[in-house]
Amino acid sequence: MKAAWLAGLVWLQRDPRGKWAGMALAAIVLALLPFALEASVGRTWVRIIDLALLYVMLALGLNIVVGFAGLLDLGYIAFYAVGAYIYALLASPHFGIHLPWWTLLPMGAVIAAFFGVVLGAPTLRLRGDYLAIVTLGFGEIIRIFLTNLNAPINITNGPQGVNMIDPVVIDGLSFAKVNTLMGVPFPGTHLYYYLFLLLAALVISVCIRLEDSRIGRAWAAIREDEIAAQAMGINTRNVKLLAFAMGASFGGIAGGLFSSLQGFVSPESFALWESITVLCMVVLGGMGHVAGVVLGAILLATLPELLRHTAGPVQQELFGKVILDPESLRMLLFGLALILVMLLRPAGLWPSPTRRRELTSARAPGTV
């Protein structure tokens, strides 16, 4: 199987037509995926894939901070919350303002980037555990502010959240209802899937370009040895702030899309557990490797839901009754899977070649 896979890669590299044919085949599969899922396992799984694409954008944004620059951030979900609430407050009856989605997404990205700089500026001298504690506190501060900014002036509607958020509308085509295009019905979940897929592909391309750019090499230098990077003339302050701002902007975009998809947001959607989940996606997939992070995000977004839907029927089939609550069992199996992966694949499921070489040399006998 491995030999066939390698042979296929060589063929794609040698034959440009084969490369374009492979890309066309992948595009067709991705285009038909929501219809195949709806026909086989139901429309619920189309929505799960929509959320998985949002997590892909979130994980890629955190990967800039953690994977590229080596800065541990446990409050990343705060930028997700900022983007979500910017969209919710300015596209709902809460303030009576209904701005179009194509203005709110860039606005959310810019404001989230500003908050990223606000977080990064006072933490420039912190590293490791101290940086993690400060970013964790920042994430909780944002959530508490969103919960309590309903008095004396009601800004966020407090713990009740904001509802009746406007969906995405493109040329009169509302994503909140079923639309018929060329005789084919497209539910809103399908339309959101195509929009999220397009934006996720754009984020992936930006991350790939950043990784190979001068800025990406500066981030890598800071990650490996900040003192040496500074001695070589890298402005570590500006480069770190740029990492926080770039990562936060992707979180802001994902937050705005989340508001539009759900039609409702509340502070409980942005708890600490969400930050930990996104961090697990980056670590599990392979820190610093764009393809690995995408894989980790998709797996961790879909695996718990798969366990939720299968844990009960499997117990019923094996024991004739449900012994353990599927909700508890799925989290137990989910945690066990994470432990096994970290023990067997410490660099992640799909690590970057550089990180794989580093871990191999560190484990080799006779190395220091």
In order along its 368 residues, the chain shows pLDDT tens digits of 444 444 554 444 555 565 677 778 888 888 888 988 888 888 889 999 999 999 999 999 999 999 999 898 999 999 999 999 999 999 999 999 999 999 999 999 999 999 999 988 888 888 878 888 999 999 999 999 999 998 888 999 999 999 999 999 998 888 988 888 777 888 889 999 999 999 999 999 999 999 889 999 999 999 888 889 999 899 999 999 999 999 999 999 999 999 999 999 999 999 988 999 999 999 999 888 999 999 999 999 998 888 877 877 877 777 778 777 777 777 787 788 888 888 888 888 888 777 676 666 655 554 44
Q: What is the rounded CA–CA span in Å between residue 203 and residue 197?
A: 10
Among the listed residues 150, 147, 182, 187, the one whose alpha carbon sits nearest the alpha carbon of residue 167 = 187
Assess if residue 172 is contained within a domain. yes
> For the chain, what is the domain count?
1
Q: Which amino acid is at 340?
A: L
Assess if residue 98 is contained within a domain. yes
Q: What is the pTM of this model?
A: 0.89
Q: What is the rounded CA–CA span in Å between residue 223 and residue 68?
A: 7
Assess if residue 33 is contained within a domain. no
Q: What is the rounded CA–CA span in Å between residue 61 and residue 68?
A: 10
Assess if residue 319 is contained within a domain. no
Residue 25 has φ and ψ, to the nearest 5°, of -65, -40
Contacts with 218 (C-beta within 8 Å, 6 or more apart), sequence order: 229, 234, 239
Number of other CB atoms surrounding residue 149 within 10 Å: 15
Residue 174 pairs in a beta bridge with 169
For Cα atoms 190, 266, 110, give the angle at the middle one, nearest 5 degrees: 75
Assess if residue 106 is contained within a domain. yes
- Residue labelled with tokens 């979940």: 189
Helix (H) or strand (E) holding 163: strand 162-163
Assess if residue 146 is contained within a domain. yes
Region for 366 from its dihedrals, namely left if φ exceeds 0, alpha if ψ lies in -120 to 50, beta otherwise:
left
Domain with 215 in it: 47-285
